[in-house]
């Protein structure tokens, strides 16, 4: 399973890349709006795409098919690793089909059911993004959705990759792994939480204490 970073922050991206684990980036209009930067959105994206050579998802924010398509075509010329994110709506899926026929990678976002994921796969999406955290916020079961999507993709031989999104904690990452998601996109904080376990910290402290009292490695 690949790890993508869900961010529009250059600072977070730089630090996360230094772990050696980040293989792509996802953004959305809310993440971009939160950036307090003197850069334009275009400038920000160019910098993100320069730092990260893997897929970088950029979401359209138009509703009508023609304007969505025009925006997507403008976005994709920004960098060769841009993936166009479209919503799971009739217009979004039509745009997905057209963009895919033009060779553009597409991430269909805001997926909350297996039936929706099926439509995204039939429209030829490169990625489909089930929103685990938001589904759970509304009483649904994230891992069940991921498992259903996995068996549907495998049973029918779809090549659409399952990109687990709206990940809020390490349990969601573990569930994405158990269900066989292809990618998990996570916030910066969750990436660093993956390293942590109280017993690792406790064990480290104990080893440090004991190493103060051990015999020297070499005699002086
Ligand atoms: O990739 C989609 C993700 O950013 C949504 O996360 O936490 O806003 O539900 P969240």
Average pLDDT over residues 39-55: 94
Q: Could you tell me the distance, in angstroms and rounded to a whole number, from the CA of residue 167 to the centre of ligand 1?
A: 7
Tell me the percentage of the chain whose pLDDT exceeds 90.
93
Please answer whether residues 176 and 185 qualify as being in contact, where contact means their C-beta atoms are separated by less than 8 angstroms. no
Question: What is the pLDDT at residue 214?
Answer: 81
Read off the pLDDT of each residue in 118-124 and give the average, rounded to a whole number: 98
Q: Residue 212 Cα, ligand 1 centroid: separation in angstroms?
A: 46
For atom 4 of ligand 1, the residue with the nearest CA is 166
The model's confidence at residue 82, banded by pLDDT at 50, 70 and 90, is very high
pTM, full prediction: 0.95
Ligand 1 first shell, C-beta below 6 A: 6, 26, 28, 131, 133-134, 165-166, 168, 185
- CA 103 to CA 73: how far, in whole Å? 11
Going by alpha carbons, the residue nearest to atom 9 of ligand 1 is 166
State the distance from the centre of ligand 1 to the C-alpha of 201, rounded, in angstroms.
30
The length of the chain in residues reads: 220
Q: Look at residue 44 and tell me whether its pLDDT is greater than 90.
A: yes
Q: Which residues are catalytic?
A: 85
Q: Which of 36-45, 152-161, 164-173 is predicted least confidently?
A: 36-45
Q: What is the structure's pLDDT at 217? A: 80
b/e burial code for range 53-83 (CB count within 10 A of at least 16 → b):
ebbbbbbbeeeebeebbebbeebbebbebbb
Mean pLDDT across the stretch 101-105? 98
Ligand 1 atom index nearest CA of 133: 9
Instruction: Give the residue-averaged pLDDT of 67-91.
Output: 97
Question: What's the gap between Cα 157 and its chain centre?
Answer: 23
Q: How far is the CA of 31 from the centre of ligand 1 (A)?
A: 9
Looking at the CA of residue 28, tell me the nearest atom of ligand 1: 4
pLDDT higher than 80, residue 220? no
Q: Is the pLDDT assigned to residue 93 strictly greater than 80? A: yes
Residue nearest to atom 1 of ligand 1 (CA): 165
**Lowest-pLDDT choice from 6-20, 27-41, 44-58, 88-102:** 27-41
């Amino acid at each position: 399973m690949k790890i993508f970073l869900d961010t529009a922050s250059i600072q977070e991206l730089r630090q996360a890349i230094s772990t050696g684990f980040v293989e792509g980036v996802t953004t959305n209009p809310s993440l971009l709006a939160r950036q307090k930067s003197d850069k334009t959105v275009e400038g920000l994206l160019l910098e993100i795409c320069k730092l990260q050579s893997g897929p970088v998802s950029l979401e359209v924010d138009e509703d009508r098919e023609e304007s969505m398509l025009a925006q997507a075509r403008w976005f994709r010329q920004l960098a060769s690793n841009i993936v166009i994110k479209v919503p799971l709506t009739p217009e979004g899926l039509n745009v997905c089909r057209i963009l895919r026929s033009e060779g553009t990678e597409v991430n269909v976002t805001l997926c909350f059911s297996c039936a929706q994921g099926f439509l995204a796969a039939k429209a030829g999406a490169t990625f489909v993004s089930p929103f685990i955290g938001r589904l759970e916020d509304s009483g649904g079961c994230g891992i069940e959705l991921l498992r259903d999507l996995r068996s549907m993709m495998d049973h029918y031989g779809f090549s659409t990759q399952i990109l687990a999104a709206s990940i809020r904690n390490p349990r969601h990452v573990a569930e994405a792994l158990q269900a066989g998601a292809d990618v998990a996109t996570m916030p910066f904080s969750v990436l660093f939480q993956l390293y942590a376990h109280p017993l690792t910290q406790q064990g480290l402290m104990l080893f440090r204490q004991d190493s103060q009292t051990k015999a020297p490695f070499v005699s002086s």
